[in-house]
Every structure is written in C-alpha cells, then in structure tokens.
A and B are shown apart, each in its own frame.
Chain A
Amino acid sequence: QVHLVESGGGMVQPGKSLRLSCAASGFPFTTYGIHWVRQAPGKGLEWVAVISHDESKIYYGDSVKGRFSISRDNSKNTVFLQMDSLRTQDTATYYCTTLCTIGATGYFDYWGQGTLVTVSS
C-alpha cells in the first residue's frame, strides 16, 4: 500500500525559510519521480516542482523558481522541498504526489495528506 507522508509545515514569517519532507513507502521509491503540488486556502491546485527518480531532471513552477529547491534521499525514501524567501502568497497546503507517466504527461495517482504552510508576520 502506497503511503506518502508530508511533514515540516508550520507558521513562518515572510522572508524566512522552511523545509518540507515527504516520506514514501509501499512502492519502489527509487524508480519514481515525485512532485509537489500546493493549494492555497479556498483556492485551486498549483503544481510546484518535480524531481526525477535519479535527480537528473528537476523542474519548478514559475511562481517558485529561484526560491524553492527540491531534492531527494533515496536511501531514506524521502523527498525534500526547501523553501526560501517565503512570501505570504506561498501560504498553502503542500502535497507530495507520484505521477503515473503516460507519454510526455501523466496523472497524479497517489497523494499525501498534505502539510500546511502559513507565511505571516
């Protein structure tokens, strides 16, 4: 059974940093890319970042490019999202999710429960 468990959320002041973790189990983690998707309170879903299984491919959404950094530790089945220079607009629930690849695209099949990040002074 696939499990994705996010942690590390909380309240932080604008301009500060926070590091989220996504612990995975129940599937061959070292062969899967992992994505982060976020959802601001009462708003829609926004894709944030992806890291390939071997870290050779990393991509970011435009709103976080240059401020967020995704990485992974395959020995611990964990993906990280380092969030720097946080803004109030980054307030959201952050989900980690796996992608079922179909051609050049695919869909997000397994999701964690999410971790809430609140950026406020």
Chain B
Amino acid sequence: SYELTQPPSVSVSPGQTARITCSGDALPDQYGYWYQQRPGQAPVLVIYKDTERPSAIPERFSGSNSGTTITLTISGVQAEDEADYYCQSADSSSSSWVFGGGTKLTVL
C-alpha cells in the first residue's frame, strides 16, 4: 500500500525556520496537502495543492514540491506553531487516501 514518510520530530527556536518533509512515490503525480493539529483538536488545513495557502493561514506557512518529496516550511516560527503536522495525498489506483505518520514540531 502507498505510504507517506515524515520525520517524527522537528525542533526549532522561535524566529527560526522549520522545514518538515514528506516523501512518497506518487507525489510527482498527486497533489500533497498539509494539516496542523493541536492537542485535542481536529486537524486544520495549512497548505493545499503542494504550495497553495488558505486565506486564513499566516503567510509564514509555505509549501514546495521537488518530485517525490513535498516540504512544509514555517518561516519565523512562533510558539503557537507548536503542534503536530501531517501530510496527506491519495492513491488513485486503489481509491484510498493516505496520511503521513506526522511530525511533532517543538518550539524551543
């Protein structure tokens, strides 16, 4: 079955740049999406179609795609950005949707 691979954790100091990667064989052919999830809350979309940002999401959130890897970049990290982040895509051959394992972002 199709898998998306993320690092379990990323740590940065406030004001620095955090980069979270997500790797998957089908990412060159399917869009990737990113969600932020705070404890006890449902996930919130922060990036769609690899690089697009919903209007309600701060500009410091951005996305990129380099073939089999998509990257979520948070510039000028703030304490409120501490959360779990999940990438998501789909396997059209099996009509299934896939999440990465999640990355815990810690703001030091």
Contact = CB atoms under 8 A, between A and B. Distances in A.
Interface of A: 35, 37, 44-47, 50, 57, 59, 61-62, 95, 99-100, 102-109, 111-114
Q: Which one of A47, A50, A95 has the greatest number of beta carbons of chain B within 10 Å?
A: A47
B99 A46 contact: yes
Given A104-B90, A105-B30, A105-B90, A59 B96 contact: yes
Contacts of B84: 44
B61 interface: no
5 contacts: A37-B99, A44-B99, A50-B95, A104-B92, A105-B89
Contacts of B35: 45, 108
Given A105-B31, A107-B45, A108-B43, A35 B101 contact: no
B100 to A, nearest CB: 7
Interface residues of B, number: 26
A23 to B, nearest CB: 16
Contacts of A50: 95, 97
Nearest to B94: A59
Given A102-B48, A112-B42, A113-B42, A45 B99 contact: yes
Main secondary structure on A side of the interface with B:
strand
B98 interface: yes
Nearest to B49: A102
Nearest to B42: A111
Contacts of A45: 35, 37, 43, 86, 88, 99, 102
A103 B48 CA distance: 13
B21 to A, nearest CB: 16
